[in-house]
């Protein structure tokens, strides 16, 4: 069995969902800042490196255009020119320097080192560092700068390359012999600049993040405060206070919940009011038979004390006591039936049933009472067979109570010599139960009120509790059905018979599967 989830704080839940993305996005922000800072740091250094390569290419082109006596002299002049350019641009931060004798040598000073390379048409080294890799031709166009990263020994370097193409120089000259000029430098300065940018951006975030968390906590506390106020208002209510909750200070998101609670309170208030009225009516109705019991018992006791009681008087008192106790028992049974009909748990016990078999059983049990009152009680409908069953889904005890109350009502209100018929019909997707009598009928303006608890039609001398038809409606509605009352006969026939009669019609949804064959279906 799954363990029930422990209740969690709404404040903590929202705080988690707000802070978790924030804490997840912060490392991503740091990484993105690092990438952007590296790109920002590269841009000025790349522009400077490309400018150096172009300046060196222009200087080399000028030297070559002026002519050279030998390749050694050309190499020396190119290296001297490169050293001067690198020194003037880098302030002593270069891989080339000029000594006192005018020779070019590596300059280990400075945080970053630079190298040059000048290649001829056949790839021969005219000046500079021979270890610099040569780029693919696809990345170079005449006069344009191509910048890339390369590995030079143990150093990762940034390289700017320019290819020289100038057809205006005579072919006998050395200009066409110069093909490629490259300038490389290490990445120390770039890394330091990127680090400074990241420090300037990230370090304030360490101070901002706790402040942001504090502001989120404060905002949530302010936002949830109306919920705490609403909880306090509900807790301060008395147990019998079912008035609606005021929606004035309730947030829009909580207003539907408050309206639902108010609707529940309204239905609960209506239900409790109905129960109070029902209990009051039930107590009032029970007072009559109980008062009769007490009166007859006190009368018999006084006669016994006086010594004037005889067998006939005692028999009459006992008969009246029996009648009163019977009325009280009937009232109690009706109240229990009303409670069962109002029980939601009855729906869980519903099963396929044969409505015709229930009606036949009730009619058979009522035959002795009908004969005693000289009434003709009959049944019309399907008989007990596999093809004649009226299949409905319901609770057998409640449906039996429904049919029994309709038949009892007809037996009470039909005068001696009358006729009562209980019939079962099929109408589309419904099975219809009709109980018809030729009694006085129900006036049209009272046909709805007869289904109210403890209501009885005025002008009748019939003794009853007024609960039977209320129980019928409650059970019918519990089974998804309806019940109505109409006149049983047309006016002409009613005039001849002495009464319009009453026709109670109950419609219940037909079941898709047939009910099992029960013993009472075999009659």
CB of 60 closer than 8 Å to CB of 83: no
Residue among 171, 163, 76, 72 nearest 123 (CA) = 163
Average pLDDT over residues 206-226: 79
pLDDT interval class at 159 (50, 70, 90): very high
- pLDDT at residue 522 in the model: 35
Backbone angles phi, psi at 114, to 5 degrees: -130, 150
Check residues 433 and 226 and name the one with the higher pLDDT: 433
- For residue 421, is pLDDT > 90? yes
Q: State the residue for tokens 């300059």.
A: 107
- pLDDT at residue 403 in the model: 92
Backbone angles phi, psi at 453, to 5 degrees: -60, 135
Q: Domain coordinates of the chain in residue numbers? A: 10-194, 347-522
Average pLDDT over residues 401-420: 89
Number of H helices, E strands in the chain: 9, 14
Mean pLDDT, rounded, of the chain? 75
Identify any residues that bridge with 421 across adjacent strands, giving them in sequence order.
Answer: 378, 436
Check residues 449 and 329 and name the one with the higher pLDDT: 449
Question: Per-residue pLDDT tens for 423-463?
Answer: 999 988 899 999 999 888 888 888 888 888 767 665 454 55
CB of 86 closer than 8 Å to CB of 184: no
Backbone angles phi, psi at 455, to 5 degrees: -95, 135
Taken in order 180, 186, 189, 195, the sign of the CA dihedral is: positive
Interatomic CA distance for residues 343 and 337, integer angstroms? 10
Question: Per-residue pLDDT tens for 1-40?
Answer: 455 556 666 667 777 777 777 778 777 877 887 788 778 8
Residue among 163, 161, 164 nearest 50 (CA) = 161
Let me know the angle formed at the C-alpha of 70 by 69 and 76, rounded to the nearest 5 degrees: 100
Check residues 47 and 298 and name the one with the higher pLDDT: 47
Question: Which stretches of 414-480 are DSSP H helices?
Answer: 468-478
Question: Per-residue pLDDT tens for 375-400?
Answer: 999 999 887 655 567 889 888 888 88
Residue among 64, 267, 80 nearest 175 (CA) = 64
Question: Per-residue pLDDT tens for 340-350?
Answer: 656 555 555 67
- pLDDT at residue 12 in the model: 72
**Tokens, residue 515:** 């009910």
For 136-181, the three-class secondary structure string (H helix, E strand, C coil) is CHHHCCECCEEEEEEEECCEEEEEEEEECCCCCCCCCCCHHHEEEE
**Tokens, residue 112:** 């970053």
Identify any residues that bridge with 158 across adjacent strands, giving them in sequence order.
Answer: 149, 185
Full DSSP string of 209-260:
HHHHHHHHHHHHHHHHHHHHHHHHHHHTS-TT--PPPP-TT--TTTHHHHHH
**Tokens, residue 473:** 């409606």
Residue among 358, 209, 322, 339 nearest 278 (CA) = 339
Let me know the angle formed at the C-alpha of 40 by 39 and 42, rounded to the nearest 5 degrees: 65
Per residue in 339-374, is it b (16+ CB within 10 Å) or e — as a string?
ebbeeeebeeebeebbbbbbbbbbbeebeeebeebe
Average pLDDT over residues 175-198: 79
Check residues 413 and 491 and name the one with the higher pLDDT: 413
pLDDT interval class at 286 (50, 70, 90): low
Interatomic CA distance for residues 434 and 449, integer angstroms? 19
The CATH number of 347-522 is 3.30.565.10
Q: Are strands 104-106 and 96-98 parallel, antiparallel or unpaired?
A: antiparallel
Interatomic CA distance for residues 472 and 66, integer angstroms? 123
**Tokens, residue 261:** 């609670």
Q: Which of these ranges, 103-107, 150-154, 286-290, 341-345, has the smallest mean pLDDT?
A: 103-107
pLDDT interval class at 168 (50, 70, 90): very low
Strand runs (DSSP E) across 2-136, as ranges?
96-98, 104-106, 114-120, 125-128
Question: Per-residue pLDDT tens for 72-101?
Answer: 666 666 667 666 666 655 543 334 444 444
Check residues 345 and 477 and name the one with the higher pLDDT: 477
Percent of the chain topping pLDDT 70 = 69
CB of 460 closer than 8 Å to CB of 413: yes
pLDDT interval class at 43 (50, 70, 90): confident
DSSP 520: G
Check residues 374 and 340 and name the one with the higher pLDDT: 374
Residue among 134, 127, 132, 131 nearest 81 (CA) = 127
pTM reported for the whole predicted model: 0.47
**Tokens, residue 436:** 């018809």
Identify any residues that bridge with 114 across adjacent strands, giving them in sequence order.
Answer: 185
- pLDDT at residue 495 in the model: 47
Average pLDDT over residues 115-144: 76
- For residue 136, is pLDDT > 80? no
Identify any residues that bridge with 356 across adjacent strands, giving them in sequence order.
Answer: none
């Amino acid at each position: 069995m799954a363990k029930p989830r422990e209740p969690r704080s709404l404040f903590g839940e929202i705080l988690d969902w707000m802070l978790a993305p924030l804490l997840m996005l912060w490392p991503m922000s740091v990484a993105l800042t690092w990438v952007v800072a590296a790109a920002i740091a590269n841009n000025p250094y790349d522009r400077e490196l490309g400018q150096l390569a172009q300046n060196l290419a222009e200087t080399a082109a000028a030297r070559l255009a002026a002519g050279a006596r030998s390749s050694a002299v050309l190499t020396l002049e190119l290296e001297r020119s490169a050293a001067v350019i690198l020194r003037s641009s880098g302030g002593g931060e270069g891989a080339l320097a000029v000594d006192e004798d005018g020779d070019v040598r590596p300059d280990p000073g400075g945080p970053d080192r630079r190298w040059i390379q000048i290649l001829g048409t056949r790839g021969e080294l005219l000046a500079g560092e021979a270890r610099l890799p040569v780029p693919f031709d696809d990345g170079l166009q005449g006069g344009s700068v191509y910048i890339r990263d390369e590995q030079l020994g143990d150093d990762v370097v940034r390289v700017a390359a320019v290819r020289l193409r100038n057809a205006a120089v005579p072919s006998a000259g050395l200009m066409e012999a110069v093909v490629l000029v490259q300038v490389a430098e290490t990445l120390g300065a770039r890394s330091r600049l990127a680090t400074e940018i990241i420090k300037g951006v990230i370090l304030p975030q360490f101070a901002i993040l706790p402040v942001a968390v504090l502001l989120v906590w404060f905002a949530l506390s302010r936002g949830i405060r109306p919920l705490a106020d609403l909880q306090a208002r509900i807790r301060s209510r008395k147990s019998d206070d079912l008035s609606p909750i005021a929606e004035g200070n309730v947030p829009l998101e909580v207003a539907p919940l408050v309206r639902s609670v108010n609707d529940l309170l309204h239905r609960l208030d209506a239900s409790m009011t109905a129960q109070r009225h029902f209990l009051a009516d039930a107590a009032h109705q029970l007072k009559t038979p109980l008062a009769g019991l007490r009166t007859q018992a006190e009368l018999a006791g006084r006669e016994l004390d006086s010594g004037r009681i005889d067998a006939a008087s005692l028999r009459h008192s006992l008969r009246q006591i029996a009648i009163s106790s019977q009325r009280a028992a009937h009232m109690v049974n009706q109240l229990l039936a009303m409670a069962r009909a109002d029980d939601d748990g009855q729906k869980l016990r519903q099963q396929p049933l044969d409505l015709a078999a229930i009606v036949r059983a009730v009619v058979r049990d009522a035959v002795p009472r009908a004969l005693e009152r000289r009434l003709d009680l009959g049944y019309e409908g399907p008989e007990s067979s596999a093809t004649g069953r009226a299949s409905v889904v319901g609770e057998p005890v409640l449906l039996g109570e429904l049919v029994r109350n309709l038949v009892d009502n007809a037996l009470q209100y039909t005068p001696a010599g009358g006729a009562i018929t209980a019939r079962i019909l099929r109408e589309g997707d419904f099975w219809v139960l009709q109980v018809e009598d030729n009694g006085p009928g129900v006036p049209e303006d009272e046909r709805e009120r007869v289904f109210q608890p403890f209501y009885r039609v005025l002008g009748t001398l019939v003794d009853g509790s007024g609960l039977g038809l209320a129980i019928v409606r409650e059970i019918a509605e519990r089974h998804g059905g309806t019940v109505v009352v109409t006149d049983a006969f047309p006016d002409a026939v009613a005039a001849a018979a002495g009464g319009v009669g009453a026709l109670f019609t109950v419609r219940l949804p037909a079941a898709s599967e047939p009910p099992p064959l029960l013993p009472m279906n075999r009659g």
